[in-house]
Chains A and B, each alone.
Chain A
């Protein structure tokens, strides 16, 4: 069973700051990695996915992948109060869809 680990938080950052969310995974063979955002009482929505080592940028979001260290992170620049949510890291597992981490709760303080 693949494992995905995240710090549960809460992570509090002031508005306008960079929020850094981290995730480690157990299966060295994992090839793709997903970041989902989940607001309280809502289902997850995909923010970004990354396959290659290095950085992938999309607007205020940057995903960073280091396969050697089995580490994937999500940076949120210019954090806004509306970014306050739980961020879930997910990794596909064989024929099953996704294995999710427990999520990191982010709080952006105005």
Chain B
């Protein structure tokens, strides 16, 4: 199956700082990638759809100015959590669909102190 990577796998930061998470498709090109967030004991919630060369589409309730998404190439999408707060602590997972099947990255555990 296709491989999706994420970096970093784990990050701890101070409140008020910004954190960038990278999502890469390693063996295929992805015009669309998806960003999910998962709080403990909760399901995955779609945050936004990242579109190569255009603006991301955000789900209702997700602040686009807080969660900046840049899909600069066919293999890379980045999610930047700006001015992070403790309530942003979560598991962030990206995914891509090269052929209809959805492949997930390994996830990034963000802890905001």
Contacts and interface: CB of A to CB of B under 8 A. Distances in A.
Interface string B70-112: 0000000000000000000001010101000111111101000
Contacts of B43: 88, 100-103
Contacts, number: 41
A97 B46 contact: yes
A46 interface: yes
A12 B107 CA distance: 27
Interface string B57-75: 0010000000000000000
Interface residues on A, range: 10 to 19
Contacts of A34: 102
Interface centre among B42, B46, B105 (most CB of A within 10 A): B46
B97 A97 contact: yes
Interface in A40-95: 41-46, 49, 88
B105 A97 contact: no
A42 B106 contact: yes
A46 B101 contact: yes
A100 B93 CA distance: 13
A98 interface: yes
Contacts of B97: 97
B25 interface: no
B21 to A, nearest CB: 13
Interface of B: 34, 41-46, 49, 59, 91, 93, 95, 97, 101-107, 109
Interface of A: 8, 34, 41-46, 49, 88, 96-103
Given A42-B107, A96-B46, A98-B102, 6 more contacts: A44-B93, A46-B103, A96-B49, A96-B59, A97-B95, A100-B43
